[in-house]
């Protein structure tokens, strides 16, 4: 009898222990703590939504004409996980709600990625030589990761409340709950990307402006300016840029305009890496130019000859320009430093402005 009573008491004691501990001896807050720890070590998938949301915001405000490269996604997710790993989380005891679920308060001090990586970002972009967004940002992320590990800078301590659901003997939290926690713990998480993309986007703007002006290539120019293709084409041909001389015979006018455009399409220039003047959109940029002297030499060659009729002069004029369109005449390579800012772009057609002088250097015209 005594032996049987002890067996019954043991069973009752074990059952009570299970009921008190719940879910295999684990509480809702213990479950959440384990999940946070796992996020620091496991795959980077949990950070995808944060990255996607940040990129969507940049797209919504048309921040960049450049597109986030697909090959940069995994390195960036790894960087976010590295930053998340520096944050210490204090998980409070779970409180049961009326619906049977639990609310768990998590206290932490968010890492400010912009402050943490600023010195590293500035030094890297100042010395940057490459123009490939994925490669340059990936290289910076390696250095930024070191800064995050060694000298993280934090914001103000905060508390976020998460909901943990109980179903049977198991707990779970929705993706939204984890995303809320990740987003709150990683402040200014796009800082390394912004550092590189700001520079290369400025470079792309100047490249796009020159390509649209000289070569009639509008794809990137439209992204930067918001113009339609029709509007860009009208801007390209504004002020009679490709109109032939007024006294040129009608049968040669179309050939003349085509020769002008073909000469400009063969202009040679290479835009360097912009260097910031201040924290606004103000840069200096080195542009390497091989002057296309074709228009100037064509005028000089035509002017040196004598003609006895409009028909003869028209034919010779077009033939000379078509000759240079087929085989342009170039000068010696030179490098110009120009200011790139909103004001310099607005003043690009003003004589004496940096961009106006750059245009003259790329394709000199007779005075």
> Between residues 167 and 3, which one has the greater pLDDT?
167
- Give per-residue burial for 111-133: e unless 16+ CB within 10 Å, then b: bbbbbbbbebbeebbeebeebeb
- pLDDT band at residue 26, thresholds of 50, 70 and 90? confident
The answer to whether 196 touches 144, Cβ cutoff 8 Å, is: no
Calculate the alpha carbon distances from 270 to 191, 208, 241, 329 in Å: 28, 12, 23, 18
Contacts of residue 332, Cβ cutoff 8 Å, sequence gap at least 6: 290, 291
Q: What's the pTM value of the predicted model, to 2 decimals?
A: 0.87
Chain segment 256-279, per-residue pLDDT in tens: 999 999 999 999 999 999 999 987
Is the pLDDT at 66 greater than 50? The verdict is yes
* Cβ neighbours of 79 (radius 10 Å): 27
Chain segment 205-222, per-residue pLDDT in tens: 999 999 999 999 999 999
**Per-residue pLDDT averaged across 32-57, rounded?**
95
> CA 319, CA 322: separation in Å to the nearest integer?
5
Q: What is the dihedral of CA 178, 181, 182, 186, to 10 degrees?
A: 180
User: Parallel, antiparallel, or unpaired for β 111-112 and 186-187?
Assistant: parallel
> CA 195, CA 189: separation in Å to the nearest integer?
12
User: Parallel, antiparallel, or unpaired for β 102-108 and 89-91?
Assistant: antiparallel
Write down the pLDDT at residue 13. 36
Is the pLDDT at 7 greater than 60? The verdict is no
- pLDDT band at residue 342, thresholds of 50, 70 and 90? confident
Matching residue, tokens 């003003």: 350
> CA 52, CA 183: separation in Å to the nearest integer?
12
> CA 228, CA 222: separation in Å to the nearest integer?
6
Is the pLDDT at 286 greater than 50? The verdict is yes
- Give per-residue burial for 251-263: e unless 16+ CB within 10 Å, then b: ebbebbbbbbbbb
């Amino acid at each position: 009898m005594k032996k049987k009573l002890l067996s019954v008491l043991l069973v009752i004691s074990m059952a009570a222990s299970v009921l008190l501990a719940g879910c295999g001896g684990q509480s809702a807050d213990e479950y959440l703590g384990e999940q946070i720890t796992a996020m620091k070590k496991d795959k980077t998938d949990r950070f995808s939504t944060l990255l996607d949301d940040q990129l969507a915001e940049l797209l919504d405000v048309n921040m960049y004409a450049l597109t986030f490269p697909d090959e940069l996604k995994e390195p960036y997710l790894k960087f976010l996980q590295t930053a998340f790993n520096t944050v210490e989380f204090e998980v409070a005891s779970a409180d049961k709600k009326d619906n049977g679920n639990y609310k768990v308060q998590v206290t932490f001090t968010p890492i400010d990625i912009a402050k943490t990586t600023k010195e590293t970002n500035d030094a890297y972009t100042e010395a940057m030589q490459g123009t490939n967004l994925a490669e340059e940002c990936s290289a910076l992320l390696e250095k930024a990761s070191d800064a995050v590990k060694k000298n993280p800078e934090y914001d103000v301590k905060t508390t976020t409340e998460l909901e943990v659901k109980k179903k049977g003997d198991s707990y779970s939290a929705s993706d939204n709950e984890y995303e809320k926690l990740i987003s709150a713990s990683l402040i200014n998480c796009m800082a390394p990307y912004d550092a590189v993309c700001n520079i290369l986007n400025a470079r792309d703007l100047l490249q796009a402006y020159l390509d649209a002006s000289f070569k009639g290539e509008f794809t990137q120019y439209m992204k930067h300016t918001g113009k339609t293709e029709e509007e860009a084409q009208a801007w390209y041909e504004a002020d009679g840029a490709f109109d032939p001389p007024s006294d040129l015979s009608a049968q040669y006018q179309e050939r003349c305009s085509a020769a002008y455009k073909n000469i400009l399409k063969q202009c040679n220039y290479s835009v360097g890496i912009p260097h910031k003047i201040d924290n606004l959109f103000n840069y200096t940029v080195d542009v390497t130019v091989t002057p296309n002297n074709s228009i100037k030499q064509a005028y000089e060659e035509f002017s040196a000859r004598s003609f006895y009729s409009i028909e003869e002069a028209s034919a010779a004029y077009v033939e000379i320009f078509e000759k240079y369109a087929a085989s342009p005449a170039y000068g010696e390579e030179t490098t110009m430093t120009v200011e790139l800012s909103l004001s310099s772009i607005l003043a690009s057609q003003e004589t004496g402005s940096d961009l106006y002088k750059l245009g003259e250097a790329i394709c000199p015209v007779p005075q």
